[in-house]
Amino acid sequence: MRALLIDDERLARAELRRLLAAHPEVEIVGEAVNAADGVQQIAALKPDLIFLDVQMPGGSGFDMLASLEEAPEVIFTTAFDQYALQAFEVNALDYLQKPIQAARMASALQRCAVRRQSTTAATTPKKLFIKDGERCWFVAVQDIRLFESDGNYTRVYFERQQPLMLRSLNQLEEKLDPQHFFRANRRHIINLDYVEQVEPNDAGGLDLTLRDQLQVEVSRRRAAQFKALTSL
C-alpha cells in the first residue's frame, strides 16, 4: 500500500515514518509539508492512502481535500481534539490524535487492509471530498444522483444532502464517466442509474424523474443523445 505523509512539522513526519516501519506492507512514497505541496504530490505519486495533518499553514487538510479532483483514502493526524468529530463526519478512514500510539496506528492500518480486500481497483468507486462551510463529506461518485450548476458553484445531490462545491459543471463533466453521467442541459448532469421515468415534453426534449422525484429536463438537442445512450 502506497502512502504519502502530509504534515508541516518535520518531527511529526519522522514519527509517522518510525511507526510505519513496523508495517512493511506500507510503502512511504513521499512527504509533503503543506496543502499546496500535498496536492502536487498526490497528483504526481497517486498514493493509495494519505496521512493528513488537519492544521497546516496556507490551508487546512480539509481545504486541501476539497481541491482534489478525486480523493484517496485518508487517515487524519492532528494534535487538536476538537477536530475529531468533524473528521469522522467526513467518513475518513480513521482519525489519529497526536502523539500517535502504535496500537492505534495498527488498528487504523488493519481497517484499511480489510477495506482494500473487500474491493478491487476496478470496482472501487471514485470519491469526491466536498466542503461546504464547516461541513465536509466524502462521497462515492456513484452515489451522487444529480449535479446542478449554481453560479460558480455546483450543488451536489446525494442521500438527503445538497451541499455546494466550488467547481463548475464543465470541470466536473470532464472527470465523470459518460456511460453513467449525462449532461441533460446547461445546468444539470444526471446519474443515469437514478432515472426512474422518461417522458417527452412539448419543447421536443424529455422530462426525467429521478429516484427521489427530482425533475430534470433534457434539452431538445440532447434528447437524441440520451435516447441512444439509454437504448430508448
The CATH code of the domain that includes 91 is: 3.40.50.2300
Q: What would the mean pLDDT of 95-107 be, rounded to a whole number?
A: 92
pLDDT at 122 over 50: no
- Give me the number of domains the chain comprises: 2
Q: What average pLDDT does this structure show over 23-43? A: 96
pLDDT at 57 > cutoff 90:
no
* Least confident among 77-81, 105-109, 166-170: 77-81
pLDDT above 60: residue 121 = no
The answer, as to whether pTM is greater than 0.85, is: no
Mean pLDDT for the chain?
89
> Of the spans 108-117, 132-141, 176-185, which averages the highest pLDDT?
176-185
CA proximity to 68, closest of 42, 33, 87? 42
* Partners of 95 in the β-ladder: 76
**Single residue among 70, 95, 127 that ends a domain in this structure:** 127
Range of the domain at 34: 2-127
pLDDT greater than 70 at residue 63: yes
What is the average per-residue pLDDT within 162-186? 93
Q: Which of 97, 127, 157 is a domain's end point?
A: 127
The torsion of the CA quartet 154, 88, 102, 79, rounded to 10 degrees, works out to 80
Higher per-residue pLDDT: 120 or 209: 209
Strands (E), 80-172: 94-97, 127-132, 135-140, 146-150, 153-157, 164-165
- Does one domain contain both 40 and 106? yes
Nearest one of 193, 183, 191, 194 to 217, comparing CA atoms: 183
**Would you say residue 226 has pLDDT above 50?**
yes
Average pLDDT of 20-35? 96
